[in-house]
């Protein structure tokens, strides 16, 4: 099978790809391509078989070059090199794994909040309570990814000592992709769970009014001789960042994901952001988001979702809450016996009959690892809109030379030679 990818006015036949991380409009055939809406100068879509069809306007930047540039941006607005490096690690991970709404795109809002004094580095974080395997940290409004790395590492240290470690963080800010932290724990041999609440953007089941955050949760597990298991999901049908990205890129979203302010279904991402996203699984996603919020309010002193400041619109610091759980599996079971059982379990999973011969049966974490491998080799695709948004943020922060450097990053980057399978 092949899929049509549109490069400006030059249709080409390319590879098949599936991008569940992007809310594309549906495009299924050549006739659909001709009648598809042109959105922000591009034709984009997901075909009937989940095929991504999009005009490639992106440029490719190497992992190291992107990481270096992100670090330079955050050092320039006052972060320590260590904190800036941590931010770069998390954002580049997101781009490598195809989670572009949590990657380089987040640089402008993070920079603006740092510049406005609404977020800071981790130097002001403190320990509120530490009792056995339990620890509560006050982030002091530190930028989320830098603080979250410290939290998951502390949970791992507690698990090494006690068999399990629980770290909760209050006065926290947006942490980016929760799967980064569970993967980090898995790479050290720990089972883990990470969750965070968020500012209200989702309507609870039975209502059309936003009240809950799209509260993310991630589970991680180390798998012997395989890609580690990483389940990273929001409580809504689609993460809020992906809706915002669709709005920024001039795309539409699938029907059934969101409501406008009047409670009507909408495919306009701007109306969705003004209205409310819908919970995954109806009562299940609604209940999951509420559970996460209850946990972080009770354990970390976080604000409930409907009182959390938006880091896009509100000019005061956030008080999000997160919990990080790390578990040493060897504390309760024989590692050799567990390895044997897990290996057989995954092999049986992979050998199940396929509904679609072209789509293997896989577990969460495999697809992201495959994308990471490709993007490490080919480069990370960046959209011109994202580069310009970072450049504008640099100007707002009084960094015109860094703005020029950001724009040159796009001018000197390579153009894609093949479709990116993570888009």
**Three-state secondary structure along 287-353?**
HHHHHHHHHHHHHHCCCCHHHCCCCCCCCCCCCEEEEEEEECHHHCCCHHHHHHHHHHHHHHHHCCC
pLDDT at 177: 97
CB of 286 closer than 8 Å to CB of 205: yes
Strands 38-39 and 42-46: antiparallel
Provide the CATH number for the domain around residue 98: 1.10.1530.10
Tell me whether residue 105 is in a domain. yes
Provide the CATH number for the domain around residue 203: 3.30.1370.60
Tell me whether residue 358 is in a domain. no
Based on the fold, state whether residues 196 and 322 are members of the same structural domain. yes
205 CB-contact burial (10 Å; exposed 0-12 / middle 13-18 / buried 19+): middle
Tell me whether residue 203 is in a domain. yes
Tell me whether residue 342 is in a domain. no
Give the DSSP letter string of 163-193: SEEEEEEEEE-----HHHHHHHHHHTT-EEE
Tell me whether residue 90 is in a domain. yes
pLDDT at 415: 66
Based on the fold, state whether residues 208 and 325 are members of the same structural domain. yes
Based on the fold, state whether residues 93 and 147 are members of the same structural domain. no
Strands 191-196 and 217-221: antiparallel
Spans of the chain below 70 pLDDT: 1-56, 413-423
φ, ψ at 276 (rounded to 5°): -155, 140
Based on the fold, state whether residues 188 and 105 are members of the same structural domain. no
Last residue of a domain, which of 13, 31, 54? Answer: 54
Per-residue model confidence as pLDDT tens digits over 370-387: 999 999 999 999 999 999
Tell me whether residue 311 is in a domain. yes
> What total number of domains does the chain contain?
3
Q: In angstroms, rounded to a whole number, what is the distance separating the alpha carbons of residues 50 and 316? A: 41
Three-class HEC string of 202-241: ECCCCCCCCCECCCCEEEEECCCCCCCEEEEECCECCCHH
Distance of CA 152 to the CA centre of its chain: 17
pLDDT at 311: 84
Q: In angstroms, rounded to a whole number, what is the distance separating the alpha carbons of residues 394 and 200? A: 28
pLDDT at 5: 32
The strand pairing partners of 381, in sequence order, are 60
Domain that holds residue 95: 61-113+378-411
Based on the fold, state whether residues 157 and 179 are members of the same structural domain. yes
Mutual angle of helices 384-396 and 107-115, in 10-degree steps: 10
Based on the fold, state whether residues 42 and 93 are members of the same structural domain. no
Based on the fold, state whether residues 109 and 148 are members of the same structural domain. no
Based on the fold, state whether residues 40 and 136 are members of the same structural domain. no
Based on the fold, state whether residues 15 and 103 are members of the same structural domain. no
Distance of CA 314 to the CA centre of its chain: 21
pTM here is 0.85
Per-residue model confidence as pLDDT tens digits over 104-119: 999 999 999 999 999 9
Based on the fold, state whether residues 163 and 214 are members of the same structural domain. yes
Apex 151 CA angle, 236 and 240, nearest 5: 20
Based on the fold, state whether residues 39 and 66 are members of the same structural domain. no
Tell me whether residue 304 is in a domain. yes
Based on the fold, state whether residues 145 and 223 are members of the same structural domain. yes
Tell me whether residue 313 is in a domain. yes
pLDDT at 416: 67
Q: Nearest Cα to 199, choosing from 235, 234, 174? A: 174
């Amino acid at each position: 099978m092949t899929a049509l990818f549109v490069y400006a006015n030059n249709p080409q036949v390319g590879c098949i790809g599936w991008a569940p991380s992007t809310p594309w409009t549906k495009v299924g055939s050549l006739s659909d391509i001709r009648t598809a809406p042109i959105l922000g100068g591009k034709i984009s879509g997901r075909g009937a078989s989940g095929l991504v069809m999009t005009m490639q306007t992106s440029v490719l930047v190497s992992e190291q070059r992107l990481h270096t540039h992100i670090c330079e941006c955050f050092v320039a607005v006052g972060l320590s090199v260590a904190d800036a490096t941590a931010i770069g690690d998390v954002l580049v991970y997101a781009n490598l794994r195809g989670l572009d709404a949590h990657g380089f795109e987040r640089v402008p809002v993070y920079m603006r909040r740092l510049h406005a004094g609404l977020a800071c580095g981790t130097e002001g974080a403190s320990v509120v309570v530490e009792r056995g395997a339990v620890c509560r940290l006050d982030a002091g409004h530190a930028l989320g990814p830098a603080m979250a790395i410290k939290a998951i590492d502390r949970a791992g240290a507690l698990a090494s000592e006690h068999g399990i470690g629980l770290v909760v963080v209050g006065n926290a800010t947006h942490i980016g992709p929760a799967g980064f932290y569970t993967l980090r724990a898995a790479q050290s041999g720990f089972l883990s769970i990470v969750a965070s609440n968020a500012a209200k953007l989702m309507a609870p089941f039975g209502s059309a009014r936003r009240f809950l955050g799209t509260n993310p949760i991630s589970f991680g597990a180390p798998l012997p001789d395989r890609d580690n298991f990483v389940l990273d999901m929001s409580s809504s049908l689609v993460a809020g960042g992906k809706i915002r990205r669709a709005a920024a890129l001039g795309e539409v979203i699938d029907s059934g994901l969101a409501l406008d302010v009047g409670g009507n279904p909408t495919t306009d991402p701007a109306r969705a952001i003004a209205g409310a996203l819908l919970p995954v699984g109806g009562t299940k996603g609604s209940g999951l988001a509420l559970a996460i919020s209850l946990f972080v309010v009770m354990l970390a002193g976080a604000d409930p979702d409907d009182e959390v400041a938006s880091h896009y619109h509100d000019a005061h610091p956030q008080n999000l809450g997160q919990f990080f759980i790390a578990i040493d599996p060897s504390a309760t079971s024989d590692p050799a016996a567990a390895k044997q059982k897990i290996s057989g379990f995954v092999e049986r999973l992979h050998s199940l009959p396929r509904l679609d011969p072209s789509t293997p049966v896989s577990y969460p974490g495999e697809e992201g690892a495959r994308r990471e491998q490709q993007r490490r080799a080919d480069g990370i695709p960046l959209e011109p809109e994202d580069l310009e948004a970072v450049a504008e943020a640099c100007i707002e922060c009084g960094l015109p030379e860094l703005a020029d450097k950001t724009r040159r990053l796009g001018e000197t980057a390579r153009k894609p030679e093949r479709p990116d399978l993570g888009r």
